[in-house]
């Protein structure tokens, strides 16, 4: 016992101070892909190798020319990096704070005028800047926070995942992330829960169980879809065995993309859902919107 105390005192505090300081993510960690929209010459190679259809394009005639709408859907992206391998305009980052209150906020669409050979001639419209955390879901978070106060109880539901997300969720209870410092606890019964943290593409066998779990959770309840599978069905999609994303079965309040999202990403999404992020919390993905705005200026 004394040896344990000695080692603890020697180690000191290891808990991250996030979200008051930026997330300490390894430079080798896989986060979202970043596209240089201005210099992107052709979306077809990246779209062809994307295993989940996270990069899609639609060509439309506009008068005498043809325009192309290209969408990067972070809700489908599994951060595999294949797009970056075939296209120099795309690079992988370690940005993980990607949670959104609306599914459409994970879709980023740009429009290009095309050359005769199908390559991009010039950028017509870049993805818009996402709404800030202060404006997204403000009314929902205010009503939830007025009831929940400073505590939150989570029931985690595995609706058919590969358990990759579960491994990362387990890390939230470690001394490094220590989710209980926010008054957030995991519970066994949905009847004691305020939030459902749902992973996996909802399998047909789990569809009814998920609905019953949702119904058993008392109001006001929050639902957070975790990972690419929870957001969109991921690599599994919608088929004879799976229903697709969680929102195809029950309403979702916050989406946390990733495959799997790391504990920082999970913590960001949970705090976003309950309005516990400080108004001036550092957001690593704001720089991209500023870069796009500067490029178009």
Using CA atoms, how far apart are residues 138 and 90, in angstroms rounded to an integer? 33
Residue 230 lies in a domain: yes
Residue 24 lies in a domain: no
The predicted structure's pLDDT at residue 258:
95
- What is the Cβ-side half-sphere exposure of residue 27, based on CA atoms within 13 angstroms? 0
Percent of the chain with pLDDT over 90: 66
Judge if 92 and 61 occupy the same domain: yes
- Lowest-confidence range among 3-17, 22-36, 64-78, 263-277? 3-17
User: pTM (2 decimals)?
Assistant: 0.84
Judge if 124 and 199 occupy the same domain: no
Find out whether the peptide bond into 220 is cis, omega within 30 degrees of 0: yes
The predicted structure's pLDDT at residue 188:
93
Residue 218 lies in a domain: yes
Q: How many domains does the chain have?
A: 2
Q: What is the CATH number of the domain that holds 156?
A: 3.40.50.12280
DSSP 168-219: HHHHTTSTTT-GGGGTEEE-S-GGG-SEEEEES--BHHHHHHHHHHHHHSPS
Q: Three-state DSSP class for 70?
A: strand
For 170-195, the pLDDT digits (tens) are: 999 999 999 998 889 999 999 999 99
**Enclosing domain of residue 193:** 138-273
The predicted structure's pLDDT at residue 132:
43
Judge if 151 and 233 occupy the same domain: yes
- What is the Cβ-side half-sphere exposure of residue 148, based on CA atoms within 13 angstroms? 29
Q: How long, in residues, is the chain? A: 297
The predicted structure's pLDDT at residue 278:
53
Q: What is the CATH number of the domain that holds 39?
A: 3.30.70.20
Judge if 174 and 55 occupy the same domain: no
Residue 8 lies in a domain: no
H-helix or E-strand spanning residue 46: helix 44-49
Judge if 72 and 189 occupy the same domain: no
Which has the closest alpha carbon to 223: 206, 260, 248, 205? 248
Judge if 250 and 268 occupy the same domain: yes
Using CA atoms, how far apart are residues 142 and 132, in angstroms rounded to an integer? 16
Judge if 248 and 181 occupy the same domain: yes
Confidence of residue 149 (pLDDT cuts 50, 70, 90): low
Q: What is the mean pLDDT of residues 22-29?
A: 85
Which has the closest alpha carbon to 187: 178, 197, 201, 177? 197
Using CA atoms, how far apart are residues 190 and 196, in angstroms rounded to an integer? 8
Using CA atoms, how far apart are residues 97 and 22, in angstroms rounded to an integer? 10
Judge if 119 and 222 occupy the same domain: no
């Amino acid at each position: 016992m004394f040896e344990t105390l000695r080692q603890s005192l020697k180690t000191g505090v290891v808990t991250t101070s996030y979200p008051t300081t930026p997330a300490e993510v390894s430079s080798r960690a896989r986060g979202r892909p970043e596209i240089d929209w201005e210099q992107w010459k052709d979306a077809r190679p990246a779209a062809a190798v994307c295993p989940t259809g996270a990069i899609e394009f639609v060509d439309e005639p506009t008068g005498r020319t043809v325009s192309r709408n290209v969408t990067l859907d972070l809700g489908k992206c599994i951060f595999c990096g294949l797009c970056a391998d075939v296209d120099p305009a795309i690079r992988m980052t370690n940005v993980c704070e990607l949670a959104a209150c609306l599914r459409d906020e994970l879709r980023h669409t740009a429009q290009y005028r095309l050359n005769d050979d199908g390559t991009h001639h010039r950028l017509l419209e870049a993805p818009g800047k996402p709404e800030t955390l202060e404006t997204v879901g403000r009314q929902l978070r205010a009503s939830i926070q007025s009831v929940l106060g400073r505590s939150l109880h989570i029931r985690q539901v595995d609706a058919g995942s590969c358990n990759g997300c579960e491994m990362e969720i387990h890390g939230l209870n470690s001394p490094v992330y220590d989710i209980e410092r926010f008054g957030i606890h995991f519970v066994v019964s949905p009847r004691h829960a305020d939030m459902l943290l749902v992973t996996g593409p909802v399998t047909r066998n789990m569809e009814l169980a998920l609905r019953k779990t949702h119904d058993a959770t008392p109001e006001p309840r929050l639902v957070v879809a975790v990972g690419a599978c929870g957001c969109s069905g991921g690599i599994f999609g919608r088929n004879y065995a799976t229903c697709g994303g969680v929102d195809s079965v029950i309403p979702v309040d916050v989406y946390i993309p990733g495959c799997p999202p790391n504990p920082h990403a999970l913590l960001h999404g949970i705090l976003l859902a309950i309005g516990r992020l400080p108004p001036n919390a550092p957001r690593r993905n704001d720089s991209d919107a500023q870069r796009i705005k500067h490029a178009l200026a």
